[in-house]
Amino acid sequence: MRKFSYTINSENGIHARPAGILVKTVSQFKSDVKFLKGEKEANAKSLFSIMGLGIKNGEKLNIEVCGDDEDILSEKLEEMLQHDFNADKVMETSEA
């Protein structure tokens, strides 16, 4: 299991568009991913589950990745979060 934390620095937090990007990305992998915010927990393969966390700018998000491809998925998620969900930027850094 891989665990890491990230403080959201997107002005609008994680709203529908970035949540959709996260779900689409995570769903391509076998590993299970949980997003944890305070006492709440979300399945990262479910848009409604992520939206239910109400993640706002400046809030800390704990992420747990567990499964056969957890290493590569964890790296991909960290890149996405660092680049504010910019898929083009993530692809550029992945190909370099």
Q: Which of 6, 10, 15, 86 is catalytic?
A: 15
**Is 83 considered catalytic here?**
no
- Of all residues in the chain, what percent are helix, strand and coil, respectively (each to 5)? 40, 25, 35
Chain-centroid distance, C-alpha 86: 12
Distance CA 1, CA 45 (A): 17
What is the enclosing helix (H) or strand (E) of 46? none
Could you tell me which of 13, 84, 16, 74 has the C-alpha nearest to residue 47?
A: 16
| Catalytic sites, residue numbers | 15
